A and B are shown apart, each in its own frame.
Chain A
Amino acid sequence: MTRSTPPRAHDPVLTGLPVGGSRAAARRVEREDLVTFINAAFSSTGQREFYGDAAGQAISIDFLHEYIHGNYRRLYARCLAVGLNHFNTAKILVRLLATTRETLVGGNGPRAARERAAVTEAWREEGRLVTAALRGLPAPQAFRSLRALAEQRVNNRRVRAIVRQWLGERRDPDFDAVKYRGALRAIVRHFHLRPPPERARFLFEGARGKPYAHPLFEAYRRARHDKRAIYELPYTVAEGFAARHRIDRATFLAGIEPRLTVRERLRLQAASGREGVEVRADLDALTLTRLCSFVVTRPLEERRARAEELHGALRRAARRIVEQQRWRLGAVGAVLDRSYSSSGSEEKRRRPLALALAGHYLLREAAERYEAWWTPPAAEALAGASGEAAGEVPDPALLLEPCGSTDLATPILAALRGRAPLVVVISDGYDNDPPGGAGEVLRVFRERLDPEARTVVVHANPVFDANDFSPRALTPFVPTIGVRDASDLPTMLAFARFAAVDAALDGLHEFLQARVAEVTATVEPLAAGEERP
């Protein structure tokens, strides 16, 4: 038994000093920094994980943001184009907008002028990227980000233009005023915006004062004294009024049911079941990952009873992603981790397992030939479940529960034996039977059995390891990519080649540039005076 440290994504001993001196070293550091950051920003959400607490996660990801922002501002902005998760997108755009002043270049003379021109060009790109990113955020997160800017007292021409533009594009500003009243009020006040008079009065007076002409505002006003009016409001707002009127949960859920959004419906499945109220979620309106999260948190009996329905919905959701992204793969082997650690945390219940299930369905739809190995094997779960219904389940993966230890070495060996050109491992990287076994297998395989890399192995990790500032790697010989949403898998597989030890920085730059061009093409530039802070 040797005593050594677990492998890290960038092993200094292993990589050694590159040929080419300090400039090459600087480029390598830049590439590694960026890869680390993008990986982290794909997987981390600052929430509690199975192995790490929320505080540690938050400190770790905050540090990465500060570090990349301080050293590579332009690349930091470009990361907005790769499709990071919402949590990190919001963090980036707040940080970029809050620190524009730092990029101002003073001085006269040709050098300052050149720098100023470069910075102006960077602003232009940044403005469009931020506008596009803000558009892509879900409303609650976008409002929260703008409110954070207001609280940080950030106010300049560019921010005002971006905020105005974003608010102007909202489909139903009156609805926003009701649902996000606090945030919108803070934003309007701070940025000196001028909403129409009635909306302004609603924002600042709320339920006090005279009746409103707008039915939603009026419903809000009446809801203070009229129990019936609360059912005309959005669920999150109505919930507060229901508590004030002491309406019991069952009555409230039955009344508010038509107003629920897709995700609220999903969230309320369990509560409504308990109260005996039927709240049906439309499974086809959900994204694949969300659907998987839903499936793996259902009790086994329900999963078995609705197996056909769930299986169909999962396949359709996977096909939607594959068709949208025109994603085709040849033969693929998948190694999927459903060990006990895939149960996630209270905040991310069974998220790693959901990701594995989503990857399972997605890869199957995308690949010509597909084979999956679960660890511990799926067959065990079925054998354990009462045998009678086992045969009727369309896919045994539907019935998996997180349990048992993680033996990645055996399924990886099985997948390598299948000779598929692509093997995807979806696991949190904690491999304990034997510890480091998977890493050793992959190392020896790459060194001895497949030095030309005919088989590409990619490790997709849904969990951000706060101590390592990156998703935990199995071995430096295999690129590890962070994944939070299964629909990022195609992007991340393309990105994986930059995470390899010997990748070049230029490729990464080109990759980013292409994504930036794609994203900025959809956004008109800000007006000439507004692109600078």
Chain B
Amino acid sequence: MKHRERTKLDFGGLRAAPSQAVGSVRLVPLVRDEPIEALRLYAVPTHADLTVVRLDPRTVYTAYVPHALVVELPGHAQAHASAGTQLLRPRAAPEDVFRVQVIDRLARREGGRSGKGSGSKGGKGGKRGKDGGERLRLLPQHLALDAYLSVGFAGPNVVWPELSREVLSRGLSPRSESVSYGRDVPGLADALRVFELYPGQVGVLLFVADAFVSALVTPGPDDYRRLHRTLVKDMYGELVIQHAVLHPEVAALWGKIDGSAVGSLEALSQAVDELRRDWSAFAGLMASGLVQAELDVTTVQRMGGFRLQRFLPSFHPHAENHVGEAIVDGSGRLAYLQTFRLSAAQARRGRLLATLVAEDWNLDETAQALETSRDELLARLRNNGLGHILKAHLR
């Protein structure tokens, strides 16, 4: 059931409308000409201060989760959701969560291992309780962040002499990352408040100081209208805060009409349409860090004709690194997308761990793959907070 591929996201059917900028925040509406009617999405507030997700009998994922997303297939009678990880909320009534039993055992693994973020948020949890039908619950962004946290989480399979006993016996647990709450990003709440929804808008690209931060895509305009406000409760990396603090204003982007080519009101009206079309291409360019990037996509879940996927970036240190989750239809078109941009430090950690895993935790081969020396690799592990995987004399 687990299906991995390396691919780009398919933004087909979506186009960008002209942006709206307030302070340092720029929001680019995404518009879909034909909304995807076969899927509904809405947020369910969780009201919990801390959410603990049990991924398997021995692994829990702990985070502040402001809301879960419920995905529904309207008009579908048969139950499709299969279990992955399950969300256990303290005090949750069992029927809320587990009214329908988990069918698909395979998916249990899918949830992946995860770490625990103490106080901070860590990432993950795809949970689905399927109550009585074709519904899937997932914890937005956490599903993606869990994928990031689970890189190398299980620890090495080979007992290399350099590795500490700790990592050999327990893997990377506990593994935590800290992120910021949207409300703490200066100006974001204001920008979302004054944002004027575009007709037919189904998504948004969020830029802070014109650095691409995250994307949200929903199946239809109604879903987006419901989810617009949840952006302020989402997680953002430290880079976003830095940008928002350092650049209180972004430049306004104005298209210019070349007056010399205009001879009539009709020509003027065409020039305006031209201006509007330019936006679409331009926004694609601004978000090329996600749109053009090759991603490691894993399918987590299937439901109706749709697949729930999560993806990891290349972890290239000079590129934008976005993790995220997506629901795509049979032809690969995006129905739902939410991303989280890793900070530079997070990307570096991700790269080190991903390379270690790829090289079976062999330090020499890892150093070679990273085009560096063994000593340099040891220093990098230490500097990136991964020193504890090494024996004491190497730290």
Contact = CB atoms under 8 A, between A and B. Distances in A.
Contact of B254 (A436, A441, A445, A449): A436
Nearest to B20: A432
A447 interface: yes
A443 B21 CA distance: 23
Given A413-B272, A432-B196, A444 B19 contact: no
A127 interface: no
Contacts of B246: none
**Residue from A1, A406, A416, A448 whose CB has the most chain B CB atoms within 10 Å:** A1
A42 B257 CA distance: 32
B276 A434 contact: yes
Contacts of A410: 269, 272
Interface stretch (B59-67, B77-85, B259-267, B345-353): B259-267
Nearest to A403: B197
A108 interface: no
A4 B263 CA distance: 25
A417 interface: yes
B252 A5 contact: yes
B42 interface: no
Interface in B175-232: 194-199
B319 interface: no
Interface in A440-484: 440-441, 443-445, 447-449
A405 B194 contact: no
Given A433-B198, A444-B268, A448-B262, A405 B20 contact: yes
B198 A2 contact: no
B244 interface: no
B18 interface: yes
B334 interface: no
A443 B194 CA distance: 27
A50 B271 CA distance: 30
Helix, strand, loop or mixed for chain B's interface? mixed
Contacts of A2: 253-256
Interface in A375-429: 376, 380, 403-406, 409-410, 413, 416-417
B151 interface: no
A322 to B, nearest CB: 30
A3 interface: yes
B278 interface: yes
Most chain B beta carbons < 10 A, residue from A3, A6, A50, A435: A435
A204 interface: no
Contacts of B257: 440-441, 443-444
Interface in B267-299: 268-269, 271-272, 275-276, 278-279, 282
Contacts of B271: 440, 444
A449 B197 contact: no
A435 B253 contact: yes
B370 interface: no
Contacts of A43: none
Interface in B1-59: 17-22, 29
A1 B279 CA distance: 8
A341 B278 contact: no
Contacts of A433: 17-18, 198, 276
B379 interface: no
A443 B258 CA distance: 10
Given A2-B255, A447-B259, A409 B196 contact: no
Contacts of A406: 196
Contacts of B268: 413, 441, 444-445, 449
B259 A437 contact: no
B358 interface: no
A51 interface: yes
Interface residues of B, number: 35
B159 interface: no
Interface in A1-41: 1-6
A417 to B, nearest CB: 5
Contacts of B278: 1, 434
A435 B17 CA distance: 10
A71 B226 CA distance: 52
B251 interface: yes
A120 to B, nearest CB: 49
Contact of A405 (B198, B252, B260, B282): B198
Contacts of B253: 1-3, 435
A301 to B, nearest CB: 21
Contact of B196 (A4, A340, A445, A448): A340
Contacts, number: 116
B265 A417 contact: yes
A339 interface: yes
A410 B22 CA distance: 23
Is the interface on chain A under 10, 10 to 19, 20 to 34, or 35 or more residues? 35 or more
A404 B199 contact: yes
B259 A434 contact: no
Contacts of B276: 433-434, 437
Contact of A434 (B22, B264, B272): B272
Contacts of B260: 448
B84 to A, nearest CB: 38
A440 B197 contact: no
Nearest to B27: A432
Given A50-B194, A433-B276, A434-B276, A413 B265 contact: yes
Contacts of A435: 18-21, 252-255
A405 B196 CA distance: 5
B197 A340 contact: yes
A4 B199 contact: no
Contacts of B282: 1
B197 A448 contact: no
Interface string A310-348: 000000000000000000000000000001110000000
- Identify which of A2, A405, A406, A439 gathers the most chain B CB atoms within 10 Å of its CB: A405
Interface-central residue, B196, B197, B264, by most chain A CB under 10 Å: B196
A410 B266 CA distance: 11
A447 B257 CA distance: 12
Given A409-B272, A448-B263, A1 B255 contact: yes
B145 to A, nearest CB: 32
Contacts of A416: 265
Given A448-B263, A449-B262, A437 B272 contact: yes
Contacts of B254: 2-4, 6, 435-436, 439-440
A433 B275 CA distance: 9
Contacts of A340: 194-197
A338 to B, nearest CB: 11
A403 B341 CA distance: 31
A480 B251 CA distance: 23
Contact of A341 (B18, B194, B265, B275): B194
Nearest to A438: B272
A441 B256 CA distance: 10
Contacts of A440: 254-257, 271-272, 275
Nearest to A410: B272
A437 B255 contact: yes
B197 A434 contact: no
25 contacts: A1-B255, A2-B254, A2-B256, A4-B254, A6-B252, A6-B254, A380-B199, A404-B198, A405-B199, A413-B269, A432-B18, A434-B275, A434-B278, A435-B20, A435-B21, A435-B253, A437-B272, A437-B276, A440-B254, A440-B256, A441-B257, A447-B259, A448-B259, A448-B262, A449-B262
Interface of B: 17-22, 29, 194-199, 251-257, 259-260, 262-265, 268-269, 271-272, 275-276, 278-279, 282
Closest 5 pairs between A and B when the two form their complex, measured CB to CB: A436-B254, A340-B196, A434-B18, A405-B196, A444-B259
Interface of A: 1-6, 50-51, 339-341, 376, 380, 403-406, 409-410, 413, 416-417, 432-437, 439-441, 443-445, 447-449
Given A433-B276, A435-B253, 19 more contacts: A1-B282, A5-B252, A50-B194, A340-B195, A340-B196, A404-B197, A413-B268, A413-B269, A413-B272, A434-B278, A435-B19, A436-B252, A437-B255, A437-B272, A440-B272, A445-B265, A445-B268, A449-B264, A449-B268
